[in-house]
Amino acid sequence: MTKAKELKKIAEEIEACKECKMGTTGKAVPGEGNPQAKIVFVGEAPGRQEAATGRPFIGRSGQLLRQAIRSLGISEEDVFITSVGKYIPLQGTPSAFQITHGRTHLMKQLAIIQPKIVVLLGSIAIQGVLGEKLPIKSLHGTIRQKEGTHYFLTLHPAAGLRFPPLKQLFLGDLSGPLSQLLRNS
Ligand code: URA
């Protein structure tokens, strides 16, 4: 089976998943992009616009993320974009259960794509993928290496929209250390 077909199968599993739907609403947002991507961006959970359309990162924070991706000199079609939570959580942010459960789908997607770099956008993405609660304020812009994959820790773009100084940190992480990592991978 091709990577595209395998990813489609996971997306169908997410759409049919009863556990995913608990405490959430709206359409499933499995993720989208290039099945051969060298770099994957992982967020927290869909927002209102994503839940209405089924597409990841298309709201305000998505515009910021997608613009920052293009500034790296890569096209949005070259990357894969997804989140730990696959549905919008009713309480705004994913619960511990939603993080652990969303992880099971996300890890299957990452195992299919096998990217060189996984960009973790904010603390929920870090917790969901690395299984650890890490202080993002001090660790943003740093890389963890695990089994041949580079995990790049940065802020969630929504934090940058709420607090302009964090937007500068987010953009600086991508144009600085992430851009360098991309060149070297
Ligand atoms: N924020 C996320 O973490 N994911 C999305 O898809 C949209 C906003």
Which pLDDT score, from 0 to 100, does residue 60 have?
97
**Does pTM surpass 0.85?**
yes
Rounded distance from Cα 6 to ligand 1 centre (Å): 23
pLDDT, one tens digit per residue, over 79-90 is 999 999 999 999
Which pLDDT score, from 0 to 100, does residue 10 have?
98
Rounded distance from Cα 43 to ligand 1 centre (Å): 5
Hey, what are 74's tokens? 């890569």
Is residue 50 a contact partner of residue 81, using CB atoms and an 8 Å limit?
no
Chain mean pLDDT for the chain: 97
Residue among 40, 49, 50, 55 whose CB has most ligand 1 atoms within 8 A, to mutate: 50
Atom number, ligand 1, closest to the C-alpha of residue 56: 6
Which pLDDT score, from 0 to 100, does residue 157 have?
98
Give residue 154's pLDDT band: very low, low, confident or very high (50, 70, 90): very high
Number of Cβ within 10 Å of residue 83's Cβ equals 29
For the chain, which domains are there?
A: 3-179 (3.40.470.10)
Give residue 99's pLDDT band: very low, low, confident or very high (50, 70, 90): very high
Which pLDDT score, from 0 to 100, does residue 30 have?
98
> Does residue 61's CB lie within 6 angstroms of at least one atom of ligand 1?
yes
